[in-house]
A and B are shown apart, each in its own frame.
Chain A
C-alpha cells in the first residue's frame, strides 16, 4: 500500500464511533430514536430535537451523486496528483456527504449517478470512505 499523504481527520470523542466503523468497512450515520431524523455529521445531540446521544445505524452505503466537480488544482499533499472528482453524495437514507468518486473516469460521472461506498485504508486507525459506481 502506498504511503498515505492526504490530510487525516483528528478523531474526537463524538465521532470516534464513526471512524471506528469506517475502519471495519461500515458507514455509520446517526438516527434519532426520539424524532426519527437521520443526521450527518455525527454529534452529541440531535440537531432536530436536541435529544442527547442520538443512536447509530449502518447506512446501506448506496447513494447517488447530488453534484460534483473535477478538481484540477489543489496543492494539498495527496490531492496534487492530477484531477479528482469531488462530489456531494446523497445516501439512500437522505443525508449527504462530501467525498470522492473513485474507480472511474471523471468524464463518466454525472448528477444522479448511482454509487456505493468503498473504504481506503489510510493508517491502522483511519479508513476514509469514498464512492465508486454502483456495481
Chain B
C-alpha cells in the first residue's frame, strides 16, 4: 500500500536542549523514581540556561517492567510527583528494551503536532532487586510463552543463534565478537557514569594480581583475547556467546529535554536537532526472512535517513544496541555503515573505535556502560548529544567532522527498533 512508504516528516522541527544520565550500576538504596530524579538533576545542572519547572508541559517515560522488577505499576505519575511536576500529563511507554526510544518518539510527535513546545522524555529501569534468575525470567517474558519459553529460549540463546548464523554465512569469528567487547570496555573506562568503568585489560590484570596474592597459579594471559578465550575466566553462556559477550543487569535512568526548534535558542546556543526519527516492528525470529539482520532495524533506519535527507555515509558516529556483542556487528550492517558480512572486518580494522572513521558506542555501549533496559534508548541520545556538542571529555570521538550522530535502540529480538538521526546546529 502506498501509505506504508509515504515520505514522512515532522509537522514542526524538534531540538534537544538538555540531557542527563544517572549513574549506571547496582544501587540497592534507589528505586526507579530516585534514579529518574538523579538523571533529571544531571540534566538541569548541565543545561546552558536554567529552566523553570513550569516550562515543562508534558512528559513520556520509557520503562519495561517496574511491575515485575519492583512490584510497582503506574510509575509515570509517581515520577511527575517526585519531580514536583504535577499536573502535567505524563505517560509510561513500554516497548521492552526500546521503551525510551519509543518514549522519545512520542515526545517528538507531541511537539510536532503543535500541542506542546517543551516535553521531557526519558527512561528508567530498576533491575537489581531480583536475583539473576528472576531477572532472566522477567526478560524472557518478552519472548512467547506458548512456543518459545518451553523450548528453553533465553536472550543469550537467541543472540547466540544469530551469532552462529552470522559465523556460518560470513567470515565472522569468535574473536570478532570478543573484540567488540574489548573496544566497548575501552570506551566505558573513560565514562564516569559507566557500570563497568574498566578496560578488559585491567580486569585481566586484576585477576592475575589476585591469583598471585592468594598464592594460586597465575594464569598465563598475554593479551585480552587470551583472557577472554579462557573458559574459566569467561564461561560460555550460550555458545558462541560467552559471559563478556553479554550486557550486564543494571539500574539507571536517562532523560532529555525536547523543544520546538524555533524556541531552542531560548535554552541554548548549541541545540542538537532531531533530524530524523524512525520506528518499525519486526516478526519474531522464527518468521524472519534471514537471521543475520533485523528487518525492523533496516526499516527504522530507512525512515530516519529519509526524514533527515541523508544516507548512512553521512553519519559520523553512532550509539547502537549492543545487548550482545554480535548485536553491534549486525547493527553496523543493518544501518548501512558496512556491507552485510563486512561488520567484523570493520571491528578488526579499528574503524568503530574511538579514533576510527565510524566510532560506535563511544559511551561504552550497553556492554560496558550498562543496560537498564527502559533507560537505554534515551541514554544513547544523551551520549550523542554530548559528542556532537564536543563535551564528551576523555571519550570525545577523535575524528574532525562530528555533525551527524545516530542512535539504534532494539526491543526484544527485533520486535521493535527505533532509529534517530541527530544533527548539530
- A: residues with CB less than 8 A from B are 6-10, 12, 15, 40-41, 66-76, 78-79, 83-84, 86-88, 95-100, 111, 128
Contact = CB atoms under 8 A, between A and B. Distances in A.
A10 B136 contact: no
B262 to A, nearest CB: 44
A79 B287 contact: no
Given A69-B164, A97-B286, A10 B145 contact: yes
With most chain A CB atoms within 10 A of its CB, the pick from B149, B153, B241 is: B153
B161 interface: yes
Interface of B: 132-133, 136-137, 140, 144-154, 156-158, 160-165, 168, 235-241, 285-287, 291
Contacts of B152: 6, 71, 74, 76, 78-79, 84, 86, 100
Contact of B154 (A68, A71, A111): A71
Given A9-B146, A111-B165, A86 B286 contact: no
Contacts of A66: 165, 291
Nearest to A96: B286
Contacts, number: 116
Contacts of B137: 76
B151 A98 contact: yes
Contacts of B150: 6-9, 128
B240 A69 contact: yes
15 contacts: A8-B150, A12-B146, A41-B147, A67-B164, A69-B160, A69-B240, A69-B241, A73-B156, A76-B136, A76-B154, A86-B152, A86-B154, A86-B160, A87-B161, A111-B168
Contacts of B145: 7, 9-10
Instruction: Please name the 6 residue pairs, one residue from A and one from B, whose CB atoms are nearest each other, closest first.
Output: A69-B160, A75-B133, A70-B239, A67-B165, A96-B286, A72-B236
B242 to A, nearest CB: 9
A32 B220 CA distance: 61
A69 B287 contact: no
A18 B148 CA distance: 15
Contacts of A111: 164-165, 168
A8 to B, nearest CB: 7
